[in-house]
Chains A and B, each alone.
Chain A
Amino acid sequence: MEYDHDVIIVGAGPSGATISRILAQEGLDVMVFDKRKELGEPVRCGEGLGAREIVAQGIDIPKQCISTDIHGAKVISPDGSEIVWKDKETTGWVLERKMFDKWLMEQAVHKGARVQSYTRVFDLVKNDGKISGVKVTHGGRDPYEVTAPLIISAEGMEASLARKAGFRALSTLYDVDTCYQYEMQEYDHENLIELYFGNEVSPRGYVWIFPKADKKANVGIGIGAHLETGEKEGGIKGATPKEYLDRFIENHNQLKKASRLQDFGGVISVGAPIDSFAKDNFMVVGTGARQVDPIHGGGIALAMESGVMAASTILRAHKAKDYSEEFLSEYEKTWREGPGKKVATRLLLRKVMESAKDDDFNYIFKTITDKDLNDVMAGKFAGPVAKVVAGRPQLMTLLKALVS
């Protein structure tokens, strides 16, 4: 059968843009559909991005996409004690996410990919039971079909097409955090990410302050969506992140006088990746596959890294004219042996952290140093755990999963 394109990608976020750039560079005919009216909008994200992964990919983010550089982090326990970790080098950035997403997609278009905004992909096209295209509508107008031998879902959290294709891309309330965030000004920051822990501040989560340019900051919260922390509309019990965030700001000396420039929010995955990333003629990449860091819910770096892996498999599949699940699973294998291992370690850490009481946080944050914190973030738990357990042996019950 004659196809319209070599590959159709659904979603022009970081993974879709990365894959389309690489494929177009190699001469493939790539069509990207995005349901948003303007790429990059609306932002639903803390906008933080670690430097290491991006530098490793050889990507040079232009100035207009970066709000400010990050030089470390400050972690604050429920009783107010702090661990401060600073670095002379830039450890990451807080992005202008809207500009970043658009810029990343522009790079793909420069290489020859095509993208179409405000286009909703609402169903699959099948030919003799095989996926062979998608049904789309542009700006709510008459639906039409577009065909390709390979469809990539880079849809993000919602992953509705991936679900239609039979992937189990649906998170339980327990495996997501519900988040609310303000962009605020003025806030005197030191270019450090600040994280506030404690069950009073943010149950099963934390409050973050991500510094931005011109004394601005993203101040946000994520709490477990399964928690019943308050009464919601209609009288049911449910998670109330906005109420927690407003209370945090009210109790914060500087922020209570600051302005709110923007409200945003979202639901982030803090659970495990989905159980399969590929089927015949179809792949899932990025947040839709729950390729997300379970500690901070960050998905940009992983989406781009996964995009590179997926693109490499797609190029080989295109050459071999083989789009079978077996062939496409190469990408899944590479992913699970690489970033998948890190994600699994972080999931373990999240599950241990969610059982910690405020008193445990206080003790742990008083006992470990900035170097220990660095080890924990790198997945090296043995040293820090030994230190904590030496002073308070009863914490072994909580922490043993990290060292067994």
Chain B
Amino acid sequence: MPIEINHSRCIQCIGCASVCPTGAIELDGLRMVFHPEKCISCGACAKACPANAIRFIPKEGAKQEQEK
């Protein structure tokens, strides 16, 4: 799982969903849900999250992209 959502920090602002290129995070009811099968490990959600509520664990192959 490349990301973990910290629900006690999350303010349901859907910022992550707005920048996710593949629709791997969405608001379902009152909670953000993550669909790992759609995630491409780009880290955009974690970078954009204003509440620092997403823990991003880069994949080996995605490391370069994240460090640019």
Contact = CB atoms under 8 A, between A and B. Distances in A.
Interface of A: 35, 37, 42, 44, 118, 120, 139-140, 157-160, 163, 170-173, 176, 178-180, 225-226, 228, 232-234, 236-242, 263-267
Contacts of B27: 35, 158
B23 A233 contact: no
29 contacts: A42-B12, A42-B13, A140-B28, A140-B29, A157-B17, A159-B18, A172-B19, A173-B19, A173-B44, A176-B19, A178-B48, A225-B15, A232-B47, A233-B6, A233-B52, A233-B56, A234-B54, A234-B55, A238-B46, A239-B48, A242-B52, A264-B11, A265-B13, A265-B15, A265-B50, A266-B15, A266-B50, A267-B13, A267-B14
A178 B54 CA distance: 14
Contacts of B66: 236
Nearest to A42: B12
Given A157-B14, A265-B15, A236 B52 contact: no
Contact-size category for B: 20 to 34
Interface in B32-51: 43-44, 46-51
The 5 closest A-B pairs by CB, nearest first: A267-B15, A238-B47, A157-B18, A233-B55, A265-B50
Contacts of B28: 120, 140
Contact of B26 (A158, A180, A234): A158
Nearest to B57: A234
Interface in B1-30: 6, 11-19, 21, 23, 26-30
Contacts of A139: 29
Nearest to A264: B11
A238 B45 CA distance: 10
Given A232-B52, A239-B48, A242-B52, A160 B17 contact: yes
Contacts, number: 115
A82 B35 CA distance: 48
A120 B50 CA distance: 25
Contacts of B56: 232-234, 236
Nearest to B44: A173
Contacts of A233: 6, 46, 52-56
A37 B30 CA distance: 8
Contacts of A242: 50-52
A176 B43 contact: no
Contact of B50 (A42, A179, A226, A234): A179
Contacts of B44: 173
Contact of B49 (A118, A178, A237, A264): A178
B47 A226 contact: yes
B12 to A, nearest CB: 6
A240 B52 contact: yes
Given A239-B48, A242-B50, A267-B13, A118 B26 contact: no
A170 B13 contact: no
Contacts of B26: 158, 160
Contacts of B53: 233
A44 B50 CA distance: 12
